[in-house]
């Protein structure tokens, strides 16, 4: 584990390596405690580089056994080797030479889950971002592209399945119970895409025929006995392959495509060329064990990793500063896939909710950084919502600005021009400029400048001249190391909605470029005048969430209610109701803090009832539209001096008001949505269940609510309904007999299934109130919990810190103290996991004074611990800065 303070890497310091490695031959003889690795590297000196320039290779905790150059052993005096670095100064004069390196690894002791490690007896690798250097010494950077040939040897009884990147070449038996397999990947790739899997796994096989007629063998490899749970993942993979051909013209390029599901994994999945390695939660599912959300996530993550075959693998990033080039672009592609497979409006709302929950706080706090960072100390800490989610939004804005046809032309040019290369953001944008003839230099600030832009919008209508005027001003708040901001190009989709609910047409427009329903904002202030407007319109802004901005709009409540019921844009319609609820909760929380009772407008509860009953809307949309903003969402809008208990009290009061006002309507609708037919995890079925469970959440607040939720739990025929009922019982009635009985029944039924038990941990970690910290502490001793497994830790500790505003932010600070203990415990074995947990503290400065000081004390306790890894120290020091 690296415990140094960490070098700061800067974008402006990038320079190409003096050496290339065009071919890499690897041989593994696998053993839990003493794996032998032989790397034969074909090394090439760049033109113009002197032979006196040393070759310096990266390592991380390596044990060097042997070293030879062009077949001749090197004397120890001719090189310098540490566990983290190998430098060879005495090199041949020839431009190309062969370096052979032998190292020894202990996969069984690799608790960091980077490099080569064991997961439930299965050897697997994780090399992104810098894990390959834990396997052998190498130029471990993404711009070193190499053709890999890999030989894997292992005991046949322990590891009958031997996989690596590319296509299989040969396999056979060896003496002493060993066997081998050789794999070759003809496509040059960076070291972070190397993968190896060896173990005893069950296999689900299928085939896919590409549009050019090539047959691809598909395999999903899982623990024995779980093969039936991989069927949906295989179906999602085949749909992804077909969609990418149809929508982006991207055809798969190898003879095989393998997915392996492992239970110990730091991330969601990894797109290694031809051999994707997945966290098993994004592969395994059936109606008994997985919710509708799980099925949707499996579909999205399978697609995301497959789509990387072109946007990430065939075209990779020149350096880690360009990470968004592969991740943001591929998130956009998987979002589009999911929108086409399910409901585009519902998917869009879900995307924006995720962005606001994860990325907006990042942009507003000490961890803010541009979509393309300019500096980093630990690259593992930049796999962030900014790079992924905001990076996706930037790609979406390019499509909005250029239009679908020109956007596709730019993508085609990018694929053609940079196939087989390590590219940059500038390369990417230049393709769209060349395809469109447009200058995107101002737009490129979305990649280079941190912070969430805010648009302040005022409007005026002159009935005499029939002119409607918008006054729009843009600003970007200061972020760490960046106090002065430049003006952005912001594409703002809008509509002027008339009394009949239809968009109004105008005769002329002045003050800004307006095309295809989008105002292009490029200056600090725009005064946009629309003529020929016969009556005052209701203003619909940022339709489809055309830009990742915040809005400060002067708008009457009546207009918002009108838009919530009539806007033709589904996202804007949802946004109107969400804004109404948020504004009411902010006002009510202030009333609570002042010692009063929360009060709400009468029309708010009625609005929720009308939306729930609106048969012209998708059921999934109605479920989202009647759901109140979360406590963290309200806190984010308040911004400072936050009292989580006051927000919780206000939210509970509004939920009860809505439930009481609409009791008859909600009960009737709840009963009408009962469906005893076959469970299907499609958009229609998921939408019906989402609406019914949203209604259950409200009805549980009323008399008889506990009985209703207990019956819902008992009658459930799928995990979606069962988990929803358990959540309603435990969160609304945590001390009830019904809640205790349901928790015990759930544990008795699923106690041996780790992924399902994660739901059990998550639900209990999210129970509101100060008592939950003791519950979570007790659950860390549960037989199904393990601090070694990232999924278990995220389910219990991560959920408590990120999804329980009243429990985590307990007024006496005990939630913070407990969390600090858990972060340091995770740190001892898995620094990446600890660092990602610690980001839950990023908004501590926004709390009211008492909690703020207690949170700071917990952060200082983490920072003051001995031998902190670079991963965790980097996060904590930036949060404290």
By annotation, the residues acting in catalysis are 305
Nearest to 584 by CA among 605, 601, 560: 601
Peptide bond before residue 129 is cis, with ω within 30 degrees of 0: yes
Look at residues 521, 378, 394 and name the one whose alpha carbon lies nearest to residue 1: 378
Residues with Cβ within 8 Å of residue 542, at least 6 apart in sequence: 492, 493, 494, 549, 551, 572, 575
Cβ(630)–Cβ(354) below 8 Å:
no
Bridging pattern class, strands 518-521 and 490-497 = antiparallel
- How far does the chain reach from its first CA to its final CA, in angstroms? 24
Residues with Cβ within 8 Å of residue 571, at least 6 apart in sequence: 345, 348, 349, 352, 543, 544, 545
Distance CA 340, CA 246 (A): 12
Residue 330 near residue 304 (C-beta atoms within 8 A): yes
CB of 296 closer than 8 Å to CB of 822: no
| Distance from C-alpha of 107 to C-alpha of 154, rounded to nearest angstrom | 13
Residues paired with residue 550 on neighbouring β-strands, in sequence order? 454
What gap in Å lies between CA 426 and CA 319, rounded to an integer? 13
227 SS3 class: helix
**What is the b/e burial string over 507-541, where b = at least 16 CB atoms within 10 angstroms of the residue's CB?**
eebebbebeebbbbbeeeebebbbeebeebbbbbb
Strand 85-88 to 55-58 pairing: antiparallel
3-state secondary structure 281-311: HHCCCCCCCCCHHHHHHHHHHHHHHHHCCCE
- Pairing verdict, β 550-553 and 454-462: parallel
Q: Please, are residues 446 and 546 in contact by the beta-carbon 8 Å criterion?
A: no
Alpha helices per DSSP H over 675-813: 683-699, 705-715, 719-732, 737-750, 754-765, 772-779, 790-793, 799-803, 805-808
Q: Between β-strands 85-88 and 96-105, what pairing exists: parallel, antiparallel or unpaired?
A: unpaired
Residues 130/381, Cβ–Cβ less than 8 Å: no
C-alpha–C-alpha distance, residues 728 and 746, integer Å: 14
Number of helices and strands in the chain (H, E): 30, 33
Those residues with Cβ within 8 angstroms of residue 848's Cβ, 6 or more apart along the chain or in another chain: 641, 642, 643
The HSE-up count of residue 686 (CA atoms within 13 Å, CB side) is 19
Q: Apex CA 327: angle with CA 305 and CA 329, to 5°?
A: 100
- C-alpha distances in Å from residue 342, one per residue of 230, 239, 287, 713: 20, 12, 18, 27
Instruction: List, in order, residues 6 or more apart from 274 with CB less than 8 Å away.
Output: 165, 166, 167, 185, 254, 256, 257, 258
Give CA–CA dist 172/6, Å, rounded. Answer: 45
């Amino acid at each position: 584990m690296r415990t140094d303070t960490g070098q700061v890497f800067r974008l402006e310091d990038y320079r190409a390596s003096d050496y290339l490695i065009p071919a890499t031959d690897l041989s593994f003889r696998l053993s839990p405690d003493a794996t032998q690795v032989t790397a034969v590297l074909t090394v090439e000196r760049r033109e113009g580089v002197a032979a006196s320039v040393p070759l310096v290779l990266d390592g991380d905790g390596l044990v060097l056994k042997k070293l030879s150059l062009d077949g001749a052993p090197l004397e120890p005096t001719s090189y310098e080797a540490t566990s983290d670095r190998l430098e060879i100064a005495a090199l041949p004069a020839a431009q190309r030479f062969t370096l052979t390196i032998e190292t020894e690894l202990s996969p069984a002791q690799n608790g960091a889950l980077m490099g080569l490690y064991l997961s439930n007896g299965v050897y697997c690798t994780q090399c992104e971002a810098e894990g390959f250097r834990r396997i052998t010494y190498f130029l471990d950077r993404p711009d070193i592209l190499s053709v890999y040939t890999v030989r894997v040897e292992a005991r046949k009884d322990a590891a009958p399945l031997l996989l690596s990147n590319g296509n299989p070449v040969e396999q056979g038996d060896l003496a002493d119970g060993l066997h081998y397999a050789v794999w070759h990947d003809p496509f040059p790739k960076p070291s972070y895409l190397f993968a190896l899997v060896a173990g005893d796994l069950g296999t689900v096989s299928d085939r896919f025929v590409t549009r050019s007629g090539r047959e691809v063998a598909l395999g999903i490899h899982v623990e024995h006995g779980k093969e039936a749970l991989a069927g949906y993942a295989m179906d999602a993979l085949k749909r992804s392959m077909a969609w990418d051909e149809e929508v982006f013209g991207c055809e798969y390029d190898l003879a095989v495509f393998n997915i392996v599901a492992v239970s110990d994994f730091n991330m969601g999945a990894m797109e290694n060329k031809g051999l994707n390695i997945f966290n098993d939660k994004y592969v395994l599912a059936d109606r008994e064990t997985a919710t509708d959300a799980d099925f949707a996530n499996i579909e999205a993550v399978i697609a995301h990793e497959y789509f990387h075959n072109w946007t990430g693998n065939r075209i990779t990033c020149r350096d880690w500063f360009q990470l968004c080039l592969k991740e943001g672009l591929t998130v956009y592609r998987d979002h589009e896939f999911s929108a086409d497979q399910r409901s585009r409006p519902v998917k869009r709302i879900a995307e924006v909710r995720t962005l606001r929950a994860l990325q907006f706080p990042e942009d507003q706090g000490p961890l803010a950084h541009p979509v393309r960072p300019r500096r980093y100390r630990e690259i593992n800490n930049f796999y962030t919502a900014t790079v992924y989610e905001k990076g996706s939004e930037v790609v979406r804005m390019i499509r909005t600005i250029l239009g679908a046809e020109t956007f596709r032309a730019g993508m085609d040019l990018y694929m053609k021009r940079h196939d087989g290369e390590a590219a940059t953001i500038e390369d990417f944008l230049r393709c769209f400029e060349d395809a469109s003839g447009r200058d995107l230099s101002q737009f490129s600030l979305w990649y280079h400048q941190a912070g969430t832009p805010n648009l302040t919008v005022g409007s005026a209508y002159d009935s005499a001249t029939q002119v409607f005027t918008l006054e729009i001003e843009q600003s970007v708040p200061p972020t760490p190391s960046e106090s002065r901001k430049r003006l952005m190009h912001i594409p703002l989709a809008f509509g002027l909605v008339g009394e009949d609910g239809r968009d109004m047409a105008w005769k002329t427009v002045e003050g800004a470029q307006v095309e295809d329903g989008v105002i292009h904002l490029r200056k600090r202030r725009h005064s946009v005048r629309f003529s020929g407007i016969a009556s005052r319109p209701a203003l619909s802004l940022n339709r489809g969430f055309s830009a990742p901005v915040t809005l400060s709009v002067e708008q009457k409540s009546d207009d918002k209610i009108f838009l919530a019921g009539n806007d033709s844009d589904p996202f804007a319609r949802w946004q109107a109701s969400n804004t109404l609820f948020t504004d009411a909760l902010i006002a009510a929380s202030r009333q609570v803090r002042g010692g009063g009772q929360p009060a709400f407008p009468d029309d708010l509860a009625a609005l929720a009832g009308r939306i729930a009953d609106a048969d012209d809307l998708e059921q999934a949309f109605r479920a989202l539209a009647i759901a109140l903003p979360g406590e963290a969402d309200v806190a984010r809008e308040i911004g400072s001096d936050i009292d989580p208990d006051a927000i919780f009290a206000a939210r509970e009061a509004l939920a009860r008001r809505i439930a009481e006002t609409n009791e008859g309507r909600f009960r009737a609708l709840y009963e009408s949505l009962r469906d005893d037919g076959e469970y299907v995890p499609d958009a229609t079925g998921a939408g019906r269940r989402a609406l019914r469970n949203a209604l259950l959440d409200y009805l549980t607040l009323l008399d008889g609510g506990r009985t209703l939720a207990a019956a819902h739990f008992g009658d459930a025929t799928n995990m979606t309904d069962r988990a929803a009922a358990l959540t309603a019982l435990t969160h609304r009635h945590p001390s009830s007999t019904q809640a205790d009985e349901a928790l015990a029944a759930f544990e008795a039924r699923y106690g041996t299934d780790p992924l399902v038990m994660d739901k059990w941990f998550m639900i209990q970690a999210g129970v509101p109130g100060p008592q939950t910290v003791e519950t979570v502490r007790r659950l860390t001793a549960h037989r199904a919990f393990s601090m070694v497994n990232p999924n278990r830790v995220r389910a219990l500790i991560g959920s408590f810190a990120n999804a329980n505003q009243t429990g985590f932010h307990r007024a006496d600070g005990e939630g913070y103290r407990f969390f600090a203990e858990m972060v340091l415990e995770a740190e001892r074995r898995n620094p990446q996991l600890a660092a990602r947990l610690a980001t839950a503290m990023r908004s501590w400065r926004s709390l009211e004074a008492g909690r703020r000081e207690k949170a700071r004390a917990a952060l200082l306790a983490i920072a003051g611990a001995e031998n902190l890894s670079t991963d965790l120290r980097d996060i904590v020091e930036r949060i404290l800065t």
